[in-house]
Every structure is written in C-alpha cells, then in structure tokens.
Chains A and B, each alone.
Chain A
Amino acid sequence: MKATNYISIEFPSRSANESFARVSVACFAAQMDPTLNELEDIKTAVSEAVTNAIVHAYPETLGKVLVKAKICDGNVLEIVVRDHGRGIADVEKARQPMFTTGGEERSGMGFTIMESFMDQLVVRSAPNRGTTVIMRRKIAARAKQQK
C-alpha cells in the first residue's frame, strides 16, 4: 500500500506520553474525515499499543517508543507502534483475553481491544529485540451532507 501522507513520532516510555501519542494520531487521522466513533476507536487502540510498550517493553527502565501513522490507498489508516524492549516470548498467549504479566493495575484486555477496534492487528516480537504492532483501520467514506 502506497502511503499518501504519514507522521512519525518518537518519545521516551513515560506514561505521561500515552495521552500525547493517542491524541497526535487522532489529530493526524482527522484529515481522513472519520466519524467521532472512528476517532475514538483509533485513540483507544493507540493508547493500548503505546501502554503495552511503556509497561511491558521497558519495565523498570526508559526506552524509545516509535509511533507511525500513514494514510494508505482506500482511505486506510495504518498505525505502527514499535519498541526495542524485552519483547514477547509467546505472542499468541499474550493476545489471549485476560492474559497479563502486568499485575493488578493491568487487565490483560489490551490486545482484545486493539483487535476489536481495528480491522487488522499484526504483532511481531522477538525476545530482547522488541515488539512491532501494526494496526489497520479503514475509514468509511461518508456522504458529504453537512456543510
């Protein structure tokens, strides 16, 4: 898919940046004329992916989190969240609902929510190399009624 426009942002894995990341991607996606629901879905999915990187990729330490958003052919938004942290040993297991290694402040529902709010979710990970989450969501074309 050829990207027609994109952004790329990088930040340290501080939890204060979760809000910044999801709002940045939502602002970028606004040019695709999404509905409010679509924007909220995007924000929520980005929040989950970025939180995973902050909580799981770099426990006890700070590392870099990279977020890319691209507009692809067919009005598809592609979001990539990448870290170079400790990685996920068993991606299939990590994607199961309620599975978490994050203790009581995590619910284990992050991947379930990303799957539910995006059309496509790809997770690539290697222990001690990092994790890349790729999410795609088609923004439905809307009849332009309101002026």
Chain B
Amino acid sequence: MEIRSQSTDRNLLLEFEGELDHHGAKDAIREMELAIDAVLPRKLVLDFQDVSFMDSSGIALILRAQQRMQHLDGSLLVCHVPQQAKRVLDAAGIGRLVKIR
C-alpha cells in the first residue's frame, strides 16, 4: 500500500495505491494520521482510484478519517472509488455516514 500526499492551503489530498486490506491498512492509517497531524486540514480528500482491493479494513480507515475531520471541524470526501471497493462500502452502508463520490 502506497500513499501519495499533496497539500495546499490546508487542503489535504491523499492518493492510495495498492491493496487496502488489514495488512495494508495498518500502515495506511498511521501514515494518514501523520499527514493529518502535519497539515491539520480543513478539507481532506481520500482518492481511491488506484486501490486494487479493499475489505472492511478500508472502512476502518475511512471512519478514522471521518472522526479526525470532525474533531478538526473539517470535511471529508472519498473519491474515485473502484467498483469492488464501492460494493464493500455499500454493503456496510458507509455512504450514509461519509460523502463518497
């Protein structure tokens, strides 16, 4: 799992690449938290375009991001979610809690 980070003016974009399973998510959550701590973003975008596989570990990561952004009084958007990951999010009803595009 690789994460590319870009930030401008307290907007943070994190692009994920690889398999977001329990094995990958452990480091991904840690890296995401470090990036959030460094930028303290008002807006966080998680780009899942290059996520080749995701299970419920990805849900934990998204919910963690949501929690952090609520504490920062900011917004979260999850975008470019591939079909397989989208079905996992739909099965868990995550679309009701998090903005997904």
B22-A109 in contact (CB<8A): no
B56's partner among A16, A37, A40, A109 (CB-CB below 8 A) is A109
B88-A15 in contact (CB<8A): no
Instruction: Indicate whether B23 reaches chain A with its CB closer than 8 angstroms.
Output: yes
B92-A113 in contact (CB<8A): yes
B92-A48 in contact (CB<8A): no
Instruction: Indicate whether A57 reaches chain B with its CB closer than 8 angstroms.
Output: no
Instruction: Indicate whether B36 reaches chain A with its CB closer than 8 angstroms.
Output: no
CA distance A82 to B26 in the complex (A): 23
**A15/B92 contact (C-beta < 8 A), A40-B87, A105-B57, A113-B55 known:** no
**A47/B91 contact (C-beta < 8 A), A15-B26, A104-B64, A105-B29 known:** no
Q: With contacts A109-B91, A113-B56 known, what are 13 further pairs, Cβ within 8 A?
A: A15-B21, A15-B23, A40-B83, A40-B84, A47-B21, A47-B22, A55-B22, A97-B93, A104-B29, A105-B29, A106-B56, A116-B91, A117-B87
Closest 10 A-B residue pairs measured CB to CB? A116-B91, A15-B23, A107-B59, A107-B60, A109-B56, A47-B55, A51-B22, A109-B92, A40-B84, A107-B56
User: Which residues of B line the A interface, CB within 8 A?
Assistant: 19, 21-23, 25-26, 29, 53, 55-57, 59-60, 63-64, 83-84, 87-88, 91-93
